[in-house]
Chain A
Amino acid sequence: MQIPKTVVISCAGIGSRLGMGTTKALIELGGKPLIIWQLEMLEEVEDIRIVVGFQAEDVIKTVLPFRRDVIFVFNHNYLSTRTAASLSLGSRHTKNMVVSLDGDLLIHPEDFKKFLSLDYECIGYGIPSTEEPVYVEIFKGEDGEWAKSFTREAGGRYEWTGLVQLWPDNIVNTTGHVYQILEPQLPIRAMQIRSQEVDTNADYIKALEWVKNL
């Protein structure tokens, strides 16, 4: 069954913190590029938008043999913008609910499937596992879990994974991070997921182990 949502994968950046000289979508984990790990989870999604910038042609060449029915969206200003700009570009011209994931995020397929089935705006959070996390404060309401605030100050119990589902009208264009799009809209529903971001070399080592256990 086709899932009538628009999934935006933002992979325009140069991956400078990881320092492998390649955009993170193309780094190999367990014998295949990260972007392919993501696409394998999206088989049932009809409308996939991949936002490309640095090494755009290499990302396109990597994706096409696996899946040709995607829309590539160019963020030509990838050096001076962050993921919020890519998400904004990728989510234009759709009326569907938008699911946004960063090009450096591995999500447990079971959790992602559950997240995709949600019909309300929601973020994915997890146990802190990355070197430079954005922490999120979670509280339990009668109708489920909610995210209350984001912070970069150390010591939070949970981190935001970068995964979010929003209606396109609520995605405003900013030059900053995606969590800054979300801040004026808090609280927002939240779901715990198992994930591994690949932002730094230490994250990369963890990701190598993580894919072995999938």
Chain B
Amino acid sequence: MTRNKKSGEVMFLFDLDGTVTRKEILPEIAKEVGIYNEIKLLTDKTISGKIPFYESFLHRVKLFKDIPVSRVRNIIAEIPLHEEIVRFIREYKERCCIVTGNLDVWVDELCDRIGVDRLTSKAVCRNDKIVEITHVLDKGEAVTRHFGDNFVAVGEGNNDAEMIKNAGIGIAFGGVHQPAKSVLSCATHAVFEEEILCRFLRQLL
């Protein structure tokens, strides 16, 4: 197992959307600003692997570019979380990290509230608006660079597959929707309830 640099213990990496949150974040933002159907279609196509995450993400962010960042943060703050998972993360926060393709300017506040470290995509923001996307996170590459190749990873979408494939223990989590086929094909485990996920994570401590 890859160990935490400070404590030498196994690291736990969590996808954000549909894993820590009980809903996908981008469709929730879209609902608030009246472009839900368009974003939902793009999100569903991305989840089912019909269009690549990178292009889909850039396209979806473009549709959100005129929405004040502060408003997006407020919408994200209202999205329900898997409280058992959050409790686990808070309890072992030195050993946990959220790995999300979402933008730092949107999700940093939520991660701060949980009190967890994070790897995210990055954007430059001016006058409360996104002016440039400077980095789209490749989860597989990023986690290998930061954590080596033997950590515990939890996720469900196609963009989690590389992270799950590279994990010592890769867990497909179906708490919100059925995990993507790509995730099921490389996961070591699949669980469908957050209580069971957390009980298993504790067995891995």
Contacts and interface: CB of A to CB of B under 8 A. Distances in A.
B190 A72 contact: yes
Contact of B190 (A74, A76, A93, A94): A74
A118 to B, nearest CB: 23
Contacts of A72: 189-191
Contact of B195 (A69, A74, A93): A69
A56 interface: yes
A119 interface: no
A57 B204 contact: no
Nearest to A57: B184
Interface in B184-205: 184-193, 195-196, 199-200, 203-204
B188 A74 contact: yes
B189 A69 contact: no
Contacts of B169: 93
B196 A70 contact: yes
Contacts of B187: 74
Nearest to A68: B192
Nearest to A46: B199
A9 to B, nearest CB: 14
A22 B149 CA distance: 35
Contacts, number: 39
A94 B192 CA distance: 19
Interface residues of B, number: 18
A146 B169 CA distance: 37
A95 B204 CA distance: 11
Nearest to B190: A72
A47 B189 CA distance: 14
Given A57-B184, A60-B190, A71 B196 contact: yes
A4 to B, nearest CB: 12
Interface in A46-90: 47, 56-57, 60, 64, 68-74, 76, 89
A71 B200 contact: yes
A93 B184 contact: no
B203 A93 contact: yes
A56 B183 CA distance: 12
A87 to B, nearest CB: 15
Interface in B42-94: none
B180 to A, nearest CB: 11
B193 A93 contact: no
A57 B186 CA distance: 13
Nearest to A70: B196
A72 B184 CA distance: 10
A69 B190 contact: no
Interface in B136-161: none
29 contacts: A56-B184, A57-B181, A57-B184, A60-B190, A68-B192, A68-B193, A68-B196, A69-B193, A69-B195, A69-B196, A70-B196, A71-B189, A71-B190, A71-B191, A71-B196, A72-B189, A72-B190, A72-B191, A73-B188, A73-B189, A74-B184, A74-B188, A74-B189, A74-B190, A76-B185, A93-B169, A93-B200, A93-B203, A93-B204
Given A56-B184, A74-B189, 17 more contacts: A47-B199, A57-B181, A57-B184, A60-B184, A60-B190, A68-B192, A68-B193, A69-B192, A69-B193, A70-B196, A71-B191, A71-B196, A74-B184, A74-B187, A76-B185, A89-B188, A94-B203
Interface of B: 169, 181, 184-193, 195-196, 199-200, 203-204
